[in-house]
Every structure is written in C-alpha cells, then in structure tokens.
Structure 1
Amino acid sequence: MTLEALAGALRHHPSIRGKLAIAGATGALGLHHESIGRPGDDAAILPREGGGYDLLAGEGFIPQFVAADPWFAGWCGVMVNLSDIAAMGGRAHALIDQVWAPSPEAARPLMQGLRDAADAYGVPIVGGHTNYGSPALGLAVTVFGSADALITSFDAEPGDVLLAAIDMRGSYRPPFDNYCASLDVPPARLRGDLALLPELAESGLVRAGKDISQGGIVGTALMLAECSGVAVTLDVDNIPLPADVALERWLRTFPSFGYLLSVKPDEVGAVRAPIAARDITVAEIGRVERGSTVTLRSGSQSALFWDWKREPYIRPTVAEPAHA
C-alpha cells in the first residue's frame, strides 16, 4: 500500500470518521473549547479553590460492542475511563455505571466485567443507574478523579517531539480493533502503569498529550493537533508495530494502554526512562509543527491525512491556529 493509499484508507475508515459526530454533539449543547470543563480534553477540568483540579469523564459504548462481548464491555467501561483520567495527569477515585438490560440474568456478565476491572484497578464503583426493562444491553460509565498538575490536549507546541507509549504485551480481542494488554495481568502492574501519567505531569516533564482511543494513533494525533492549533507529522517508519499486524490496522487501533505525549526535545530522555522501565514500548513517532495538518511520512515521501482547518474534526468551530 502506498503512503497516499494508506492516508486515504485511514481518512475514510469508520473508526476515524466516527469522531466527527463530536462536533455536532458539542455544538448542539452550546459547548466550545472555552466552555467550562474545556471540551476536547480527555476529561472535563474543574479547577478547585485552593489549587488542583477535579476531573470528570464518561464513556458510552456502541450496542454492537456490548452485545458481542458483554463481560469485556464491562471491563472496558472501567479501563477506558481510568485511562482518560490518567491522560489528564490525574488519579481516579470513583466510578458510577449506567446499565440497561432485559433482565438481571442478561446483565450478569456485563456487571461482572465492571466488578472485575474495578477490583483489578483498585477504583470503586460507588453507585449508578440500572434498568432491567430495556430490550437490549446498554452501558455507560462515569469517572471522578483529580489532578495536581495537568496534561492537556491544548498545550502541544511547535518543536515538540511526539512520543507514543503503548503496552504491546497483548493481542487483539475479536472482532473489533481493540488491542488488549490488561487481562490476566497483576493488579499492581495495571495500577503502576497508570500512575506513570500523573507522575510525569507532576514532574513538569509532560504538559500535553492524549490517550490513544477510538481512531487510533492517527485519530488521536489529529485531535491533539486540532485542540492545540498545530500540525503533526507522523513518521510511520518509527511507529512500533506488533508482529503480523498491518500498519493500516495498527494506526487506527484502540490499545488498552496507549498515550501520545508532546514533549520538549531536551526532556525526551527523562520522559522515556520511567515508561521503558515498566516494559512499556515508547518511541519517538513524530514532530509537532506550525500549521493545521496531520501528515504521514516515510523516508522522503509524505501524504496528507487531514487538515483540521479545512475540515474541523472534533470542534464545532475552530479558532485561528495558535501557532500558525
């Protein structure tokens, strides 16, 4: 596949284009990037009197995913919310769930997945809402956390190095593009891995980044670029790739532990060291630049993936680039 074909395949894939709905939803609610909570980040930021920040995030799950693998959907309901809080430089404190099901029996594997993940990660489910009168399974989960120092989607700057930190000690969970490295893992490892992000934030080494979510590496790089008002060039030759996985699939994969971190060049070594010490793969995969594009590069060739100024991605209105 040529680089142009790769960029085109990614640009038109449903997992990438699904994020376009975010702009419509935030616009319908009258929200924008300067609203309280600052939509566009992985969690809403609520400054606390006296210092620090409360963080709120939530995830709703597509019905096909919940129906196909209800236990794993429950597990992910916890896992992805905790990842969102960590991506902000925060620590999660509590979760609430919202479950719809035809009966208690139908909900049982979903509930068990929620419980198993909450136990593994050490973050309690403290309540929620349950409806056993629904014709099908449905799931949403909300998380509360806090941070002393933030990692945000709005602070990547031209000249930064883009690092990818991904736990590649896993495999795909069929039939979707979910790469899971969190099952059958000691709880201490799961908790210690998530603790890396607030530690990096509190050290002042990382101020900008996002967790790699639906849309994968390329979609997440685009969201980070758009929120920060910058361009990103991804060096696809430098992106670590699991054995026997096609690059196109990997670039849109949702890993159970994966983050893009925008780091000053002279701080790359200090950021990489604690991540690598936990056997998490970390690599320099790109650069932050002036402009509004996300570009794929391989050797001397390059291909445009997206220009968020010409086609906004997750924001209903886009201000002039901060670093044009």
Structure 2
Amino acid sequence: MDERGLHRLIGTIIAPERLEDDCAVIPCGDRLMVATTDMLHETTDFPVGMTDWQVGWMATAVTLSDIASMGAAPGQVLLAVGLDRPERLSGIMEGARDCCAAFGAELVGGDLDAHRELTIVSTGLGTVEAAHLVRRRGARPGDVIAVTGPLGEAQAALAGYDRHRKELLEPQPRVREGRALGRAGVSAMMDISDGLALSLHDLLAVNDCGFSVDTARLPLPAGVPESEGRELALYGGGDFELLFTAPPGILPVAGVMTHVIGEVIPDRGVLADGKPLERRGYLHEWKG
C-alpha cells in the first residue's frame, strides 16, 4: 500500500475533505490560517553528500512550499529534530533559520530527541485572506494548466547531472509566486514535490474534470537529452514548483514565470499527448 491509500483510511476517521490540500485551513479572525507538517528521514529524504546546513534548509523548504501552494504568506516554523549525533544540530538549525529568513518566515521553536536515524519534522503556519486562498479543488474545463518553472531538475541531479545539484539539495519554495497567483485568482494549485504525473492524478482525485498536457510544452531540465528530460519532468520528484490551473485571461501574472503545459478538459482522466498518463512518481510504500 502507498501513502495515498493510507490517506483514504485516515479519511474514514476524520473528515475526508481535510485531506484534500497541502495544508489544513483554520479560521483565524478575519483571515485564514494554514498549517502543515512534514517528516523527513536521512535514508529516504536526504541525498548522500548533503551538509547539515542543507538538511535544515530542505526540511524547512518543503514545509514553506506547502504554504506557498495555498496562496498564503508564511509565518512561523517549528522544527522537531530526532538527532543521531549532537554535533549536527548547529548546522541543521542554522540552515532552517536561513531558509525561514529567505522566504519571510520565522523559526520559533520545536523539539529535540535522540534517534538512531536523523529524522526531522517541520511544522509551518501561514495566513491568507479568504478571497485569495487556493485549494486543489476548483479546476474548471477550459482552464489552462501551468507550472512555475523547469521540472525534473532534482531527479536529474540524482541521475548524475551535477549542474542541478543545487536544485536537489537547496530547493526554493515558490512563496512569492504562490501569493501572487492566489491574488490573481487561479482556480486550483498544489506543489509538485512528488512529480508532475502524480500531482495531476492528485488533482484528478478532488476535481470533477480531467487534465490534458502536451509534453512538448513541458519546461525540461537543462543539459539533459530531450527524451530523458521529458521522462524526468513527468515523473521525477523533489522539484517544489507550483502546478496550477487558471482561467485563460489571468496569465501572465506580473513577476511570475509561468509555463502553460495543457488544459482542463470535461472528461475525467489524466492525458499526456492524448493518451492516459501513468500514475507514477515519488511514493512512500509499505510492502506486504
């Protein structure tokens, strides 16, 4: 069973609509608070060769990316560190602090414990006006499908294209872009941490329409042969770009790089070049 399957189990215990988005949404005065949490492990999430500073940066960036996908402004981040060696803590915390500072958040606390394997849980809070909140649900036939930047770069680094090591080890959450797209009125949005194909299927699960992309329009990783780059762009994880749908008249949005890659269609399904697109990407799985 994979993690999406387990989400369905959780949906029998708490309201399933709570599981549809990258963040929980909580009323907070005249605004909305968004809250998210991510767990990362050394062996599955931190590539070999990362510095402790990069580990702290990445653990924070993935959480800020979730906040960005809701069109929200980041506020506070808490970091719970299951630490394998005490001498690593300083670099991890400095990386987390610097990532927060770079994107307008504040590192305000957390927890500390001893673990055999380095494990970090990052929790982020943000706020957004109700009118500018963007959920995964909301795509409509006739909307365009777009992304905020090149896809497949992180996976390209794992495949040996070292020019993309920075994209892999120091991901840049699209906080400014997410807020601008929310204010512009995009109809649905999420981040692409698990790959474009899987993200499109995630959108399919909560919308009453379909998604059709033209692979010739995908922004591919530089320096990678086109056929390999297209495969990485469709299925590679770790990019943290934003995937969104929007009425055609909204784009371009000032100050935001966007690449239109397809359109929302009436019939439910995910298509690439007119053919069904495999539901494949980065998934945590349990065997047996």
TM-score (norm 2): 0.81
What is the rounded CA distance, in whole Å, between the counterparts of 2:214 and 2:170 in structure 1? 33
Correspondences of 1:36-185 after superposition (within 5 Å): 38-49=18-29, 51-64=30-43, 65-66=45-46, 68=48, 69=50, 70-131=52-113, 133-148=114-129, 149-166=132-149, 174-175=157-158, 180-181=166-167
Displacement after TM superposition at 1:128 (Å): 0.6
What letter matches 2:84 in structure 1?
Answer: P
Structure 1's unaligned 5+ residue stretches are 1-17, 308-312, 314-324
Shift of 1:180: 4.5
Tell me how far apart the structure 2 counterparts of residues 288 and 179 of structure 1 sit (CA, whole Å): 33
Match of 1:227 among 202, 206, 224: 206
Which among 263, 267, 273 is matched to residue 291 of structure 1? 267
> Cα offset for 1:27?
1.6
Paired AA for residue 234 in structure 2: L
Amino acid at match of 2:182: A
CA-CA distance at 1:85 after TM superposition = 0.8
1:213-249 deviation per Cα after TM superposition (whole angstroms, max 9, x unaligned):
12x1111111112112321111101111122332111
**AA aligned opposite 1:73:** V
Q: Which residue of structure 2 lines up, in the alignment, with residue 304 of structure 1?
A: 276
What one-letter code is carried by the residue in structure 1 that aligns with 2:209?
A: V
Q: Which residue of 1 aligns with 2:232?
A: 249
What is the match of residue 241 of structure 2? Answer: 258
Instruction: Provide the rounded CA distance (Å) in 2 between the counterparts of 1:42 and 1:266.
Output: 26
Q: Is the CA contact (8 Å cut-off) linking 2:72 and 2:126 kept in structure 1?
A: yes
Shift of 1:165: 1.0
CA shift, 1:115, in A, is: 2.6
**TM (normalized to structure 1)?**
0.72
Letter in 2 for 1:56: A
Shift of 1:195: 2.0
Q: For 2:115 and 2:240, how far apart are their aligned partners in 1?
A: 32
From the superposition, tell whether residues 184 and 43 of structure 1 become closer, same or farther in structure 2 (CA, over 3 Å). Answer: closer
Q: What is the CA-CA distance between 1:120 and the residue it aligns to?
A: 2.6
Indicate if the aligned counterparts of 2:156 and 2:232 stay in contact, CA closer than 8 A. Answer: no
Provide structure 2 residue ranges, at least 5 long, that are not aligned to the other structure.
284-288
Counterpart position of 2:183: 202
State how far apart, in whole Å, the 2-side matches of 1:209 and 1:26 are: 21
